[in-house]
Structure 1
Amino acid sequence: MPDMIKMALCQPAVVDNKAENLHKAAEMVRRAAKSGCQIAVLPEMFNCPYQSELFPSYAESFPNGETIRLLARLAKEENIVIVGGSIPEKDGERVYNTSFIFAENGELIGRHRKLHLFDVDIKAGTVFKESDTLTAGNDITVVTACGVKLGIGICYDIRFIELAREMTDRGAQVLIYPAAFGLVTGPAHWELLMKARAIDNQVFVIGAAPARTLGAKYQAYGHSIAVDPWGRIVAEADETESLLTIVLDLKTIASVREELPILKHRRPKIYHN
């Protein structure tokens, strides 16, 4: 495992135009590579607006979808690992909310289909039902890139502590959540959840979000963020379009676990009873 890893969190403003969204994403990935980043992370549904009724029309199939081919080509051309946020993925008659992860040689090394669908009715003003058009995935995703084990979840997945612990138990050192929290859940829970998962598991936690798009039906919160194993914020964006570059000192994982050995002190036999 390397001591340090440099990453870029891409926070584009997403519009109802796939070509424009892909152009913007590609531009950000190229900027990330030029700045020396080894990994670029895109946000949830970076190629289409976060509206359930639009997901089927934007959906693509692996391996020939336009977005998928672009990510593979970019990874190879720019020699950078890409955690491809998520896009609507069509597989037969079903559509999934899927993150495709590509190694720096352009090869697919992981595919995470969102496990927990965002079906909520919050009195403060958020009503959403992903299950109207999406199907939930069934597999936990941990991949190795640049010598580091990355656990991948998508947005609502971060609220499920069992998933984060299982990825940690499988060796994940960095948990990455492409997400699109809105203006109700974002201010209330975004930073809190990132810190909680980092502290619970003594790992780095990354949240990559779209920027706020004025006039859009769904307003993203933005605030892409990186949190260290002690729960400290490494860096955080605001709500505007931006490219957030961060350096993670991976030695922090071992030092925090040595000082506060909660993972060693766990008693799973008792919990499972």
Structure 2
Amino acid sequence: MTSSPRFTAACIQMRSGRDVLENRDAAVALVRQAADQGAHFAQTPEMTSLVCRDRAELFEKIGPQDQDPVLAALREVAREKGILVQIGSIAVKEGDKVANRGFLIDRDGDVVASYDKIHLYDVDLPNGESWRESATYTGGDTAVLAETPWGLLGMTICYDVRFAALYKALAERGASFLTAPAAFTKQTGEAHWHVLHRARAIETGSFMISAAQGGLHADGRETFGHSIIVDPWGRVLAEADTEPGVILAEIDPALVTEVRGRIPTLKNARPFEMAAASDPKPLGLAASA
């Protein structure tokens, strides 16, 4: 059986602000840069089109999917440069709420897959930050696998990366490449970004490819950046800092087969039942302890 060819993947790190057209132009320029540097696949971060925490302003500046200027522009760039483009996500108006939706665009500029973020970030942080994505966004309910010339791509977004079962399910269905484009907060990113990405890659024997927002945004939030590409052995192949730009790494799909053969956790997983905690007595403790 012939293995899939190697390809070059790019993560586009951004610092999206409150002007959709400025964000569009920044994304287009960086995707073109990635293509000129040899990328066959380029991924933008979560909320490529707009980072804005004010709900009224957000609704004023977004529209339905077929009217989104960022989606239209990146479809044109994919066609112009002959590369695959994954839009990490854009905000799409869905009635009185918003879908946090990612897209995969093929070399002809056609949208071949879309994914609505399943897990919504509702949290109060110790530093006083409070986030309630569910107040504005409607969560998706369907995991998405997309076909690429090199194998299956699993599409997720940001907070999803904390839910390991989603990635296991995608890998069990054949995904070789898993993605979690993000706008991680600085505080949680410093603590967990790297370990979560390396863990998801190691657990599934997959590549993790995640573009990120980074730095201090116009709406006052600060994101962690550090767009990252991790191989199936858990090695970091490329990583950004906090500035907008492009990182690239060569992806060898054969490594997925090799690593899953060495540590076949997907094949070795077994169903189990949970015993009832009806007698929660401590075990192995001496009476005099």
* TM, length-normalised to structure 2: 0.89
Does residue 218 of the first structure (1) align with residue 224 of the second (2)?
no
In the alignment, structure 1 residue 85 sits paired with structure 2 residue 66:
no
Counterpart of 1:25, as a letter, is: A
Q: Is the 8 A contact 2:121 2:134 kept in 1?
A: yes
Aligned letter for 1:47?
Answer: S
Match of 2:29 in 1: 27
Q: How does 1:188-227 map to 2 (within 5 A)?
A: 188-213=191-216, 216-227=219-230
| 1:60 aligned counterpart, secondary structure | coil
Shift, 1:271, TM fit: 5.4
For 2:72 and 2:274, the matched residues in 1 are separated by 43
On the 8 A contact 2:44/2:212 being kept in 1, the answer is: yes
Shift of 1:92: 3.3
Larger Rg: 2
User: 2:92·2:101 contact (CA, 8 Å) conserved in 1?
Assistant: yes
Report the Cα offset of residue 60 of structure 1. 2.6
Q: What pairs up with 1:85-124 in 2 under 5 angstroms?
A: 85-124=88-127
Q: How many pairs are equivalent?
A: 272
Q: Check if 1:46 corresponds to 2:58.
A: no
Which residue of 7, 14, 30 maps to 1:5? 7
One-letter identity of the residue aligned with 1:65:
D
1:81 and 1:104 in contact (8 A); partners too: yes
Q: CA deviation at 1:50?
A: 4.7
Give the equivalent residue in structure 2 for 1:255.
258
Report which stretch shifted further, 139-148 or 170-179: 139-148
Task: Verify the 8 A CA contact 1:9 1:41 in the aligned structure 2.
Answer: yes
Instruction: Indicate conservation of the 8 Å contact 1:4/1:250, yes or no.
Output: yes
What's the C-alpha RMSD, in Å, of the aligned pairs? 1.7
Query: Residue 215 of structure 1: CA displacement?
Result: 5.8
State the Cα distance separating 1:216 from its structure 2 match: 4.4
Check the 8 A contact 1:198/1:231 in 2, yes or no. yes
CA contact (8 A) 1:60 1:66 kept: no
Partner SS for 1:75? helix
Partners in 2 of 1:52 and 1:196 — Cα distance? 34
Kept in 2, the 8 Å contact 1:59–1:95? The answer is no
Aligned partners of 1:56 and 1:166: how far apart in 2? 34
Distance 1:219 1:100 in 2: 25
Structure 1: unaligned runs, 5 residues or longer: none
Match of 2:171 among 163, 168, 174: 168
* Amino acid across the alignment from 2:269: R
Tell me the secondary structure at the aligned position of residue 147 of structure 2: strand
Does structure 2 retain, via aligned residues, the 8 Å contact 1:38–1:146?
no
- Sequence identity, in percent? 33
- Deviation sequence 1:38-67 (CA, Å, 0-9, x none): 111000001111525243233231223212
